[in-house]
Amino acid sequence: MYTKRKFRYAQHSSGVAWVDFTFRRMRVVLVKVVEKIVLKKRLTHTDHTKTSGRKCVLLGLWVPSEKTIYINSATKDLKGAHHPMTKTLIHELYHILDETASEQEVIRADKILWRMYSPGQKEELKRFIPKNDPSVELLLL
């Protein structure tokens, strides 16, 4: 007699196959690819695409050569954002999963994923974000 196979982590299931598959892939990336996640008080990047060369404030940044995800810890102060650092982590992980995706495609995907992830899945990803105080230094590129 066939019995339905139970998902090992039932609290980590959204009920949507693509969303659950992406969540499992993100967990694998966090364990096997990303070596560290660093919180920065002010994460900036010099925009060379414009003639002004002004510095832009970033919410997150994936640096493949260092295998590090930098997250702007000041995002927790934004109004109306629920777990904004976790949303940023999802965004950066999607960049790792789909390196060919444009920024607009990644934004669309992370909005869908954030809306569809179960509270258990969001909490699981949130556990990977360090709890310590972010460093005061600036990350300038």
Is residue 67 within 8 A of residue 33, CB to CB? The reply is yes
Q: What is the DSSP letter of 50?
A: S
φ, ψ dihedrals at 117, nearest 5°: -60, 140
Q: Is the pTM of this model over 0.75?
A: yes
One pLDDT digit (tens) per residue for the chain, 141 residues: 544 444 455 556 777 889 999 999 999 999 999 999 998 888 887 665 654 667 778 889 999 999 999 998 876 555 544 468 899 999 999 999 999 999 999 999 999 999 999 988 998 998 898 876 545 443 433
Domains with residue ranges and CATH for the chain: 15-126 (3.30.2010)
**What is the rounded CA–CA span in Å between residue 4 and residue 14?**
17
